[in-house]
Amino acid sequence: MCGIVGYLGNNKASEVILSGLEKLEYRGYDSCGICFFDVAQEAFVTYKDIGRVFHLVNDFNYQYENHLAIGHTRWATHGKPNQLNSHPHFSQNKRFAIVHNGVIENYRELTKKYLPEVHFISETDTEVIVNMIELFVKDMTVEEAIRKTLSLIEGSYALLVIDTHHPECLYAAKNKSPLLIGTGKNGITLASDIMALVGYADQYMPIGDKTFTVCKKDDYGHYIFEIYDIIGLPIHGDFLRMDLILDEIGKAGYSHYMLKEICEQPSVIRNIMEKYLSYDKFTINPEILHLLKSCDRIYILAAGTSMHAGLVGKYLFENIAKIPCEVNIASEFAYNSLLLTKNPVFIFISQSGETADLRACLVKVRELGYKTLTITNVLTSTLAREADYYLEIFAGPEIAVASTKAYVGQIVLLAILSYCLSENKPFDLKLELSKIAVAMEAIIENRDVIHTLVKERIVKRNCFYIGRGLDYYTCLEAALKLKEISYIQTEGFAAGELKHGTIALIEEGVPVIGIISQHAINNSTRANIREVMARGANKIIISLNRVSDPSDEIILMNIEEMLSPILTVVPTQLIAFFAALELGKDIDKPRNLAKSVTVE
Ligand code: F6R
């Protein structure tokens, strides 16, 4: 959940790190820090504190000349966010500095066994790693000391270490937490995420688990690196070309990333279609189609918003492809002793491809010998690499913590997959997706109407979304979005369930937003809306034109019913955005959250 970045090269290292931290901040933003080797003083200089990267950028003294640096942006796991717990951390004698993303599970045992004399400054597990390196280096080389430490620590880590005795070396190690290495004509950059490499690397490579990397300057003044496996054998990997450009990760004139990403959704749909259309026909890797056609049940595992996409996926697999499917929350999967079918296939849905709960499931499922498919927005992610197959969403980098375009992209891809699996195509998917993109544009162009509605009716203490069938899944997602960025307590309910208890919460003026996209549920959802109105609720109805009533507040263009969640979610994303805007919340970086949840 944290972001790390390190640089060694001809550029001013501190600038590479600060720019990298700005791009990595969505991974965690409790606190941040930087440590670099100052050429003039021949010493490490550190800035770190609680708060956002822009404070660091403002407070920073740019006079220093430096070519080696590491940086960190934190989402607290061990110890609360404060200056002492911010990274980088140091060994007791200040020889080594470290930044770390991950969780060391056996840090207490290691402290007791190896470091009983050490006076720890922070509450973090990270300080244990750097002190072990300093302990072991007394009898061995730095590389050996780091490798020995790695052989003893258990858990997840992507870490970068620098050493006052070797100011032209940057050391890195990785297990389970993501780490990429990028090279360009001016040096080497290591980071948790490709975004921090943009502008500094022409090519990049994801680093594998249980590896150790050394970056240094060779005798000819070139910056080189070597990667070793756990027993010290060199590893060679294939570099990928950097396709991302700075424009793609900027706000492109929008006030917030979230608004930009909502507005990008029509082009996301068109982009995914283009990627999966071949000679006007949707095409998916035949091996994946064969795998899914021959299974007796699909098990979808996901978390949060991606889990909501999974619920829609279940509907699509069962209704279009006619394959039974069930959805499990990844963090619950390990505790439910599921009676699996004889021939299951597991689909992992994850925007980031790094969610630790999912990774734990993937490891377990693979151990059981079942086939796995990951659907992700990040091709280089752990879940993409470790599954038997993957499909890319092609939604482009999603930077706002609240997921919008990736959710839409996930459902579009699940629709394409179900469609390719179906014997009898129930509609023309290409035509229907194109219509949805146009219908979305209409909502986005008229978003001021939603803004006014939000100001007048939604900025309250709590809020309810209700719907049935596919609309219920949209309600779950809509409620998550509204609560996570506006902090208005919001619940999504199956409309028919209200009267079994929750209706007790309805009182004068409470906003209840009903979603109606399907003919079969129109009357019953409307009856439930009347019930809450009779108890004082302030209703807002989002409906498709063909099932609308003139009194509905948000009426959307008609599209294929089975695909309605792709469209109906858009006004709810805008409701969340405008509610957070009205309440003055930090929309792109809501409190307590991080984009990539790399701890279980
Ligand atoms: C909410 C949100 C989260 C993520 C969840 C899973 O807006 O983004 O609920 O969906 O943390 O993340 P991924 O999809 O990266 O596995």
What are the boundaries of each domain within the chain? 3-248, 251-426, 437-588
Smallest CA-to-CA distance from 505 within 471, 481, 536 is with: 536
Pocket test for ligand 1, best of 374, 597, 599 (most atoms within 8 A of CB): 597
Residue showing tokens 């439930």 = 528
- Asked if domains 3-248 and 437-588 share a fold, the reply is no
Pick the CATH number of 437-588 from 3.40.50.2020, 1.10.357.10, 3.50.90.10, 3.40.50.10490: 3.40.50.10490
Q: Among 395, 398, 400, 411, which residue's Cα sits nearest to residue 576?
A: 400
Q: Are strands 281-282 and 277-278 parallel, antiparallel or unpaired?
A: antiparallel
- Residue 33: CB atoms within 10 A of its CB come to 25
With H, G, I as helix, E, B as strand and everything else as coil, classify residue 162. Answer: strand
Is the torsion defined by CA of 552, 556, 561, 566 positive or negative? Answer: negative
> Which atom of ligand 1 approaches the CA of 383 most closely?
16
Helices (H), 168-285: 257-263, 265-276
| pLDDT < 50 positions in the chain | none
CATH numeric code, 251-426: 3.40.50.10490
Asked whether 547 and 555 are in contact (CB, 8 A), the reply is: no
From the number of C-beta atoms within 10 Å of its C-beta (0-12, 13-18, 19+), residue 51 rates as middle
At 507, list the tokens: 């009182």
Q: Are strands 89-90 and 43-50 parallel, antiparallel or unpaired?
A: unpaired
At residue 50, what is the residue type? I
Q: Does ligand 1 lie within 6 Å of residue 350's CB atom?
A: yes
The pLDDT score that the predictor gives to residue 81 is 85
Residue closest by Cα to atom 16 of ligand 1: 350
Distance 97 CA to ligand 1 centre (A): 32
Residues 6+ apart with CB under 8 A from 360: 330, 334, 600
In the three-class reduction of DSSP (H, G, I as helix; E, B as strand; rest coil), residue 467 is classed as strand
460 classed as catalytic = no
Catalytic, 32? Answer no
Is-cis flag, bond preceding 81, omega within 30? no
At residue 247, the pLDDT reads 65
- Find out whether 598 and 354 touch, Cβ atoms under 8 Å: yes
Question: Which atom of ligand 1 lies at the shortest distance from residue 404's CA?
Answer: 7
The ligand 1 atom nearest the CA atom of 352: 15
- Residue 319's Cα: distance from chain center in Å? 29
Domain 3-248, architecture per CATH: 4-Layer Sandwich (3.60)
Pair 162, 215: CB distance under 8 Å: no
**484 CB within 6 A, ligand 1:** yes
CB 195 within 8 A of CB 24: yes
- pLDDT, residue 599, reads 66
283-318 burial: b if 16+ Cβ within 10 Å, else e: ebeeebeebbeebebbbbbbbbbbbbbbbbbbbbbe
Measured distance between the N- and C-terminal CA atoms of the chain, rounded to whole angstroms: 10
Distance between CA 403 and CA 572 in Å, rounded? Answer: 12
Length of the chain: 600
